């Protein structure tokens, strides 16, 4: 049985746009906060966070959005830290012609916050159980702001060589901690596969400083996973309130992997963001 979804905030109407290879580009003159009247669907760009990849994270959301006529791009987040990941995503965004709805899960929220700055095609930011840092902040500092995260005790650091000869540290989630910390509302056989296929992210991601906070100028929406053991729900609410999200939903009983367990709720919020900037 589906969990109850509680909606908060004011959600107005939409956005529009296209991928160049699929549809015709719309007007490039619209600003992130300007109303639009074009009828084509915007491109939805979905950005995963650590311990995951694009397909495992977004498959069901992608299917629903495509069924509703949205062009979708779900790029591979390098997970090498903000100085690498944000410019990489910014380059992906520049390849998309027309309006964009940009969504990020978990650490992906920090990446979209940096990457979307100064891109006039990004009309809305959608944060899914995500970090929403302000300029000068670190993800690790935010994680310690409220109690409840199981991530610090669940990670297994593994050294790796950097190109410059220094040694970095990749963070993996331990097998016996993965489900509880990351995906407690999903079946064990599913989380066993997720653990085996997890993509680690560099420990430097926790201390990298946010250089730009796009939510100051781009309308944003947020989703709170109320049983999240990775990013505490209290932190999610604090971030969304600070960002003055135009709409926030709370998914009761949802784990950090809410986009997998409740793809309907995530899809609906993306569509609300579309309508909200029309």
Using one digit for the tens of pLDDT, what is the confidence trace for 48-93? 999 999 999 999 999 999 999 999 999 999 999 999 999 999 999 9
Tokens of 96: 């998309």
User: Model-level pTM?
Assistant: 0.86
Phi, psi of 20 (to 5 degrees): -60, -35
Q: Are strands 5-9 and 100-105 parallel, antiparallel or unpaired?
A: unpaired
Return the pLDDT at 40. 87
> Which residue shows structure tokens 């989380």?
191
Least Cα distance to 261 among 184, 209, 194 occurs for 184
pLDDT of 17 over the 70 cut: no
Q: How far is the C-alpha of 181 from the C-alpha of 103, rounded, in Å?
A: 22
Torsion sign over Cα 169, 170, 175, 181? positive
Tokens coding 255: 């784990």
Average pLDDT of the chain, as a whole number:
89
Gap between the Cα atoms of 133 and 249, Å rounded: 19
Tokens for 10, please give them.
Answer: 């004011």
CB 98, CB 181: distance < 8 Å: no
Pairing of strands 5-9, 247-251: antiparallel
Residue 236 has pLDDT above 80, yes or no: yes
DSSP three-state, residue 195:
helix
Pairwise CA distance, residues 33 & 57, whole Å:
29
Quick one: pLDDT at residue 108?
Answer: 98
Give CA–CA dist 28/121, Å, rounded: 7
Q: Write down the residue that tokens 């003159």 correspond to.
A: 29
């Amino acid at each position: 049985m589906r969990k109850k979804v509680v909606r908060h905030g004011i959600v107005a109407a939409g956005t529009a746009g296209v991928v160049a290879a699929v549809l015709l580009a719309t007007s490039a003159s619209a600003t992130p906060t300007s109303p639009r009247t074009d009828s084509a669907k915007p491109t939805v760009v979905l950005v995963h966070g650590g311990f995951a990849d694009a397909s495992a994270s977004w498959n069901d959301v992608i299917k629903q959005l495509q069924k509703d006529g949205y062009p979708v791009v779900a790029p591979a987040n390098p997970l090498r830290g903000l100085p690498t990941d944000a410019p990489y995503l910014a380059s992906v965004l520049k390849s998309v012609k027309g309006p964009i709805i940009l969504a990020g899960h978990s650490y992906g929220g920090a990446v979209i916050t940096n990457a979307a700055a100064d891109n006039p095609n990004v009309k809305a930011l959608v944060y899914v159980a995500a970090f929403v840092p302000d300029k000068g902040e670190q993800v690790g500092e935010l994680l310690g702001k409220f109690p409840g995260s199981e991530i610090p005790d669940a990670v297994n650091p593994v050294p790796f060589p950097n190109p410059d000869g220094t040694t970095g540290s990749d963070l993996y989630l331990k097998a016996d901690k993965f489900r509880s910390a990351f995906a407690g509302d999903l079946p064990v056989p599913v989380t066993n596969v997720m653990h085996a296929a997890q993509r680690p992210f560099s420990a430097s991601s926790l201390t990298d400083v946010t250089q730009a906070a796009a939510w100051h100028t781009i309308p944003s929406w947020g989703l709170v996973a109320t049983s999240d053991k990775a990013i505490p729900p209290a932190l999610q609410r604090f971030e969304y309130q600070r960002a003055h999200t135009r709409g926030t939903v709370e998914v009761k009983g949802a784990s950090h992997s809410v986009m997998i367990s409740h793809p309907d709720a995530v899809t609906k919020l993306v569509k609300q963001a579309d309508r909200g900037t029309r």
